[in-house]
């Protein structure tokens, strides 16, 4: 009997059992979020300071996913260059993945997807601030497993507004993934680093 799971309900245990997903502890596996990060201009830093101020003002009330996308994710993606060629963005993309024996199917809708015509670049999962950013990681990984191009690594970006994490997944042989450190909007210059990582990914994936 085929088991169908909604992506928002997927767990790490189900990803491991049904899709053979493995977390790697190899420090060299995911260097893209650490090495050769570009410097931001003063104007870019000023824009990010405004994003932080806007978010902190709005956070007096409950911030829902659409507001997270509009106030936080939109400006970050624009500064990183994902609104310009060779990239495109789509929202609410339907995703369906099957386990190797077709015994499990995961379905859902991805919040935002940055892509080039030939492959997915960045799968983005946005959560309401009331959820930990960790809650979106299994869901993002499920979408990344659905990347139709298995030869290139898939990258993920999870945010609930004040917190951020980057993910990398490869599907050559046994699927493997790794996570970045968590970043926080209110902690020091973390927001600058988040955009620097996004810019670095844009440089690498735009080539």
Whole-model pTM?
A: 0.90
Segment 121-148, tens digit of pLDDT: 888 877 766 677 888 898 889 888 888 7
Assign residue 163 the CATH number of its domain.
Answer: 3.90.1570.30
Q: Beta-strand (E) ranges in the chain?
A: 3-6, 22-23, 88-98, 104-116, 119-126, 154-159, 163-170, 176-179, 183-184
pLDDT at residue 100, as a whole number:
61
**Domain, as residue range, for 160:** 3-206
Spatial contact of 50 and 56, defined as CB atoms under 8 Å apart: no
* Neighbouring residues of 106: CB distance < 8 A, sequence distance ≥ 6: 4, 5, 6, 7, 10, 95, 96, 97, 98, 142, 146
Q: Rounded mean pLDDT of 11-19?
A: 89
> What token pair was written down for 144?
């990344």
pLDDT at residue 118, as a whole number:
67
Give the number of domains in the chain.
1
Cα 206 to the center of its chain, rounded Å: 17
pLDDT at residue 79, as a whole number:
96
Is the pLDDT confidence value at 102 over 60?
A: no
Both ends of the chain: CA-CA distance in Å?
44
């Amino acid at each position: 009997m085929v088991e169908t799971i909604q992506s928002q309900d997927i767990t790490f245990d189900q990803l491991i059992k049904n899709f053979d997903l493995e977390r790697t502890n190899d420090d060299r596996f995911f260097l893209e979020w650490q090495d050769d990060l570009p410097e931001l201009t003063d104007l870019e830093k000023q824009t990010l300071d405004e994003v932080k101020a806007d978010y902190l003002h709005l956070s007096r009330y409950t911030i829902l996913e659409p507001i997270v996308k509009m106030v936080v994710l939109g400006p970050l993606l624009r500064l990183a260059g994902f609104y310009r060629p060779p990239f495109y963005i789509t929202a609410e993309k339907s995703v369906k993945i099957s386990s190797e024996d077709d015994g499990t199917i995961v379905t859902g809708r991805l919040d935002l997807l940055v892509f080039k015509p030939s492959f997915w670049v960045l799968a983005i999962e946005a959560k309401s601030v009331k959820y930990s950013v960790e809650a979106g990681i299994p869901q993002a990984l499920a979408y990344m497993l659905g990347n139709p191009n298995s030869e290139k690594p898939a990258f993920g970006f999870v945010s609930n507004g004040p917190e951020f994490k980057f993910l990398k997944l490869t599907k050559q042989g046994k699927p493997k993934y790794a996570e970045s450190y968590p970043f926080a909007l209110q902690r020091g210059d973390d927001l600058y680093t988040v955009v620097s990582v996004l810019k670095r990914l844009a440089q690498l994936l735009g080539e």
